[in-house]
Structure 1
């Protein structure tokens, strides 16, 4: 399966929905490392076919190479659109971690999958090097598989 090649370590847990609704939610956690050594941790909750909530992303500069590191998140909607959720940068330098607690997405046509790319600029301001390190399929949309 292609997905296994993208995920260095991932765990999925089933949790009970808030406010006693009895609705099941699925929380996904992924910790990945780029080939050049920087790291990212992503945790978020699939609440239903249309929504991702409660997302936290941490971006760690582990290479100490005087280059920033950033994560790019996108979702693919049920209508086939790719929607950027934005870049989250760590500009703190060697050994630092930047944390973002603003990862959410919703679309009336549904959210099929969430994709995470880890990037860092090339020396001299050239085009950034990026790797797709995680693709998470919505468990409420089984037609999202295979990739």
Structure 2
């Protein structure tokens, strides 16, 4: 009976960490009207693991100014190096006139991908317009324990 009470007290002292769902978007307009939009949602699990990453591109106009979106992660390796992972998944091209294209359920974490990553600072959403510029937004990792790495 005492052992069971001690086990319950131990569980209460170390609750399981909750996941944290975050989202951002970039909307590009022509003549005040939305033309193309990229949305990103991620679920942070820990300082080095993220899953359920959903990337969507919507092309609202029937013109030749489509674009594409990419998702990358800003990381620190176990060797102290910082940088980006590169694109997670493939480049997501807009489908043209009134289309919506989505990649769902991308995951990244040290548990299965690479043992070199010790910290994921943020997820980076990039939207590039054909024949134009690229724009980006970050979703900071709420479990990040390194304040010097903040994007904002």
User: Quick check: 1:145 aligned with 2:147?
Assistant: no
Structure 2 CA distance for aligned equivalents of residues 44 and 146 of structure 1:
17
Structure 1 residues 131, 35: closer, same or farther in 2, change over 3 A? farther
Aligned to 1:14: none
User: Quick check: 1:96 aligned with 2:94?
Assistant: no
Contact 1:29/1:44 (<8 A) preserved: yes
Q: Which runs of 5+ in 2 are unaligned?
A: 1-14, 111-116
Residues 1-147 of structure 1 aligned to structure 2 (within 5 Å): 22-36=16-30, 37-79=35-77, 80-84=82-86, 85=88, 86-90=90-94, 92-107=95-110, 108-122=117-131, 128-132=132-136, 134-142=137-145, 143=147, 144-147=149-152
Residue 88 of structure 1 and its aligned partner are, at CA, apart by 1.4
Residue 52 of structure 1 and its aligned partner are, at CA, apart by 1.1
Q: Which runs of 5+ in 1 are unaligned?
A: 1-20, 123-127
Q: Does the residue aligned with 2:46 lie in a helix, a strand or coil?
A: coil
Residue 68 of structure 1 and its aligned partner are, at CA, apart by 3.0
Deviations 1:34-86 (CA, angstroms, capped at 9, x unpaired): 24431112111000011110111110012322233211211111231211124
TM-score relative to the length of structure 2: 0.69
Query: How many pairs does the alignment contain?
Result: 120
TM-score relative to the length of structure 1: 0.71
Structure 1 CA distance for aligned equivalents of residues 29 and 126 of structure 2:
12
Q: What stretches of structure 1 move > 3 A for 4+ residues in a row?
A: none
Structure 1 CA distance for aligned equivalents of residues 74 and 144 of structure 2:
12
Larger-Rg structure: 2
